[in-house]
């Protein structure tokens, strides 16, 4: 059974002990309600490090006022069991007051990659993410930290922050884990009723169509985005938030498409906001510079 600790001091003590025993430290930050996507991150960390710390913290500073902070699923006991099965050694589950001192007034802001996609629709979200990641990195002091490609913009923001602020942590991306029907696993999927869940399958389907279009030679980001959008709209029960077809590193539009491209989508099924993406290698069109 992985041990659960609540205080920063206790985590630091355990990590110092593990390091003294010659172990490298892997870290998997989560908000809990763990599923097979999280498990993949934990297993990767356990395979690549002598000691794996998993954090479970529903970070209030990354939620907007109208978002689902209060109803976000919390179920520590089941999470600890799954964490242990995956190979985690320690679960850090702080209370909000244990993470943020009263009067907390210091923020970390990545100013470019955070601007578009989800950042444009969730003001302050990536500031909350970056700040909590820095805090967690300073508490755990890992050698490696594992992030899912499912939250693609988050991964890129964290990689940029680590580079820009000289953290010596290796950020390890992990491919998106999907249910057999193609839906990316997410803690928020449990909000979906069966019909909403069926409708949500249009998202991975549309992403695949977009990727196939690019692989088939389409080089217009607008045409690819339109095709993805219309497949999602055609489903009839989803509410589109955005489709973006952008460079996978800069998250900026490139036209004509070339290099590594990410197609990123956010859409609502019922009240539940879902995100997903696909990365496509896109050879430069013949004749382009």
What is the set of active-site residues? 38
Q: Which of residues 86-105 bind ligand AMP (CB under 6 A)?
A: none
| 30 vs 49, beta carbon nearer ligand AMP | 30
Which position has the token pair 């890129």? Answer: 156
| 151 vs 196, beta carbon nearer ligand AMP | 151
61 binds ligand AMP (CB under 6 A): no
Q: How far apart are CA 165 and CA 147, in angstroms?
A: 18
Shortest Å, Cβ 27 to ligand AMP: 11
Among 5, 11, 25, 41, binds ligand AMP (CB under 6 A): 41
Shortest Å, Cβ 29 to ligand AMP: 6
Q: How far apart are CA 220 and CA 240, in angstroms?
A: 20
In Å, how far from its chain's centre is CA 181? Answer: 20
Number of residues forming the site for ligand AMP (CB under 6 A): 17
Shortest Å, Cβ 217 to ligand AMP: 29
| 15 vs 274, beta carbon nearer ligand AMP | 274
Residues 6+ positions from 226 with CB-CB distance below 8 Å: none
**Cis peptide leading into 10, omega within 30 of 0?**
no
Q: Structure tokens of 94?
A: 């702080």
Which position has the token pair 């000289």? Answer: 166
Site string for ligand AMP, 134-163 (x = CB under 6 A): -------------xx-xx------------
Q: Structure tokens of 113?
A: 């990659």
Contact 224, 185 (CB under 8 A): no
Q: Structure tokens of 18?
A: 């593990």
191 binds ligand AMP (CB under 6 A): no
Determine the straight-line distance between the first and last CA of the chain, rounded to whole angstroms. 56
Contact 145, 171 (CB under 8 A): yes
| 68 vs 247, beta carbon nearer ligand AMP | 68
Contact 152, 264 (CB under 8 A): yes
Stretch that binds ligand AMP, among 4-12, 29-37, 162-170, 249-257 (CB under 6 A): 29-37
30 binds ligand AMP (CB under 6 A): yes
Burial of 100 (0-12, 13-18, 19+ CB in 10 A): middle
Among 184, 238, 274, 282, binds ligand AMP (CB under 6 A): 184
Q: Which value, to the nearest 10 degrees, does the dihedral of the CA atoms of residues 16, 76, 161, 100 take?
A: -80
Q: Which of residues 210-249 bind ligand AMP (CB under 6 A)?
A: none
Stretch that binds ligand AMP, among 31-39, 117-125, 216-224, 252-260 (CB under 6 A): 31-39
Name the residues that contact ligand AMP, by CB under 6 A.
Answer: 30-31, 37-38, 40-41, 147-148, 150-151, 174, 176-177, 184-187
């Amino acid at each position: 059974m992985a041990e659960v600790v609540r205080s920063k001091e206790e985590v630091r003590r355990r990590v110092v002990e593990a390091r003294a025993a010659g172990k490298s430290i892997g870290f998997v930050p989560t908000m809990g309600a763990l599923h097979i996507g999280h498990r993949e991150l934990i297993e990767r960390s356990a395979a690549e490090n002598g000691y794996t710390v998993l954090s479970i913290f529903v970070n209030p500073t990354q939620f907007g006022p109208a978002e689902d902070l209060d109803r976000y699923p919390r179920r520590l006991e089941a999470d600890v069991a799954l964490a242990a099965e995956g190979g985690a050694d320690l679960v850090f589950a702080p209370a909000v007051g244990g993470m943020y001192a009263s009067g907390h007034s210091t923020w970390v802001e990545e100013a470019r990659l955070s601007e578009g996609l989800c950042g444009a629709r969730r003001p302050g979200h990536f500031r909350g993410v970056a700040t909590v990641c820095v805090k967690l990195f300073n508490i755990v002091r890992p050698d490696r930290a594992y992030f899912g490609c499912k939250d693609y913009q988050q991964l890129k923001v964290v990689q940029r922050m680590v580079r820009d602020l000289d953290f010596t942590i290796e950020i390890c991306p992990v491919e998106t884990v999907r249910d057999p029907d193609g839906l990316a696993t997410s803690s928020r999927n449990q909000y979906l009723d069966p019909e909403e869940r069926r409708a949500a399958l249009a998202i991975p389907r549309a992403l695949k169509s977009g990727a196939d279009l690019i692989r088939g030679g389409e080089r217009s980001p607008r045409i690819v985005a339109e095709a993805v959008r219309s497949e999602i709209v055609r489903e009839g029960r989803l509410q589109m938030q955005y489709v973006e077809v952008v460079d996978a590193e800069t998250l900026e539009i490139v036209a004509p498409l070339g290099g590594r491209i990410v197609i990123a989508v956010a859409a609502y099924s019922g009240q539940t906001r879902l995100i997903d993406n696909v990365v496509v290698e896109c050879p430069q069109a013949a004749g382009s510079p």
